[in-house]
Amino acid sequence: MPRALQNSAIKWAADHLRHHARCDKEKDPYNAQQGFWHSHCGWLFTPDRYADPKYATRVANDPIAIWQHRYYPLLLLAGLAGTFFVGFLFNGVLGGIGCFLLAGVGRTFAVLNSTFFINSLCHLWGRQPHGTSDSSRDSWLVSLVTFGERYHNYHHMYPDYRNRPCWYHFDPPKWVIHGLYSLGLATSLRTGSYVEDSLT
């Protein structure tokens, strides 16, 4: 998610874990009970009175995450400047501006909003086949733009690296993570105690 301009990996992990621990309560950073706008992106413009570094403890000890956190603003600027530079190499100033607007600003806008739909739409509209202890919902609409994040109710009900357990469910992140695990590049994959049923 840091690629989606939701801050560094350390800050994002702290917010995400707090969202799960305090879902739909005052300390939830994306609290859907405060409406679509707040859960979609309003939380970015609201002072966070409940920020708590304890939620990022596991990530905050990783040297790569520490480096990324330290240089996040520079990495962000370099990424946006890089789009101009690539366009400039191929078509001068106009190419640079066009590439910056399309691959920089346009892509960022699309990724931000598709990611934010998980916090907003997937907590306001859809089905709750796995539990109703919070507002998380499954949404086909969101899956079209988030590569399988439609199974948000499952994601909230089970501590699992997958958005849905069966291999045939559209869930590219699950396949990537499992591929990395198969190559020895990821370890300790957490899976929930979910038993597949007729809802799938």
Residues in the chain: 200
Question: Which of the pair, 168 or 84, is modelled with greater confidence?
Answer: 84
The Cα 60–Cα 34 span in angstroms is: 29
- Could you tell me what percent of the chain has a pLDDT over 70? 94
Q: Per the domain annotation, does 51 fall within a domain?
A: yes
Closest of 124, 192, 180, 183 to residue 155, by C-alpha: 192
Do 90 and 111 sit in the same domain of this protein? Answer: yes
Q: Is residue 141 part of a domain?
A: yes
* 194 pLDDT higher than 70: no
Average pLDDT over residues 80-91: 95
- Note whether 59 and 6 are same-domain residues: yes
What's the mean pLDDT when you consider all of the chain?
Answer: 88
Q: What's the pLDDT score for residue 196?
A: 52
Question: Average of pLDDT values for 80-97?
Answer: 96
With H, G, I as helix, E, B as strand and everything else as coil, classify residue 108. Answer: helix
Give yes or no: residues 110 and 131 share one domain.
Answer: no
Q: What is the pLDDT of residue 15?
A: 93
Q: Which burial class, exposed, middle or buried, applies to 34 when counting CB atoms under 10 A from its CB (0-12, 13-18, 19+)?
A: middle
- On the CB side of 42, CA atoms within 13 Å amount to 12
The answer to whether residue 122 is domain-embedded is no
Checking if the pLDDT of 198 tops 80, the result is no
133 falls within a domain: yes
Task: Using pLDDT thresholds of 50, 70 and 90, give the confidence band for residue 195.
Answer: low
- Provide the domain count of the chain: 3
DSSP result, 47-89: --TT--GGGGHHHHT-HHHHHHHHTHHHHHHHHHHHHHHHHHH
Least confident of 10-14, 90-94, 168-172: 168-172
Q: How far is CA 118 from the centre of its chain?
A: 8
Structure tokens of 200? 């799938």
Q: Average pLDDT for residues 48-59, to the nearest whole number?
A: 89
130-180: pLDDT as tens digits: 999 999 999 888 877 888 788 899 999 998 888 887 878 888 889 999 999
pLDDT at 199: 39
Residues 132 and 174 in one domain: yes
pLDDT for res 7: 84
Between CA 39 and CA 122, with CA 162 as vertex, the angle to 5 degrees is 25
The answer to whether residues 112 and 131 belong to one domain is no
| Same domain membership, residue 136 and residue 189 | yes
**Do 63 and 2 lie in a common domain?**
yes
Same domain (yes/no): 197, 160: yes
Assigned domain for 143 exists: yes
Confidence of residue 128 (pLDDT cuts 50, 70, 90): very high
Dihedral of the alpha carbons of 139, 140, 144, 146, in degrees to the nearest 10? 30
Is 78 among the domain residues? no
Which domain, by its residues, includes 88?
A: 83-117
Instruction: Answer yes or no: is 105 within a domain.
Output: yes
Q: Is residue 159 part of a domain?
A: yes
131 shares a domain with 191: yes
* 3-state DSSP assignment of residue 105: helix
